[in-house]
Amino acid sequence: MSKPKSTDLSIASATRELDGVRRAASMAGRAMQRLEADAERIAGEVGTSGRSLRLVSASEQFSALIKHGKTVIQIEGDAFAITSGD
């Protein structure tokens, strides 16, 4: 027994949409990497004396890195971490 054509078309359409979403996510990931690399380069050029702030936002992704002395706050999307050295 063969599947109805409407189901086949729906699956094909969903597959194309999923491929588009994957390509968009991949492009956004590469854009985030480029932005983060630029931020690191700029921070290195400026010389921060133990303090720095880096914020990157692209589409629905957000990244932040805050350093002050030995305290580091890192945010990636909805997750975050705070560390402090002795």
What is the rounded distance in angstroms from the CA atom of residue 63 to the CA atom of residue 41?
A: 16
Most trustworthy range by pLDDT among 3-7, 18-22, 37-41: 18-22
Average pLDDT over residues 7-25: 80
Query: Is the model's pLDDT at 1 over the cut of 80?
Result: no
Give the residue from 85, 61, 86 showing the smallest Cα distance to 75. 61
Q: Say which residues have a Cβ less than 8 Å from residue 49's Cβ, sequence separation at least 6.
A: none
Query: Is the model's pLDDT at 9 over the cut of 80?
Result: no
Reported as a pLDDT band with limits 50, 70 and 90, residue 14 is confident
User: pTM to 2 decimals?
Assistant: 0.42
Q: What is the reported pLDDT for 5?
A: 59
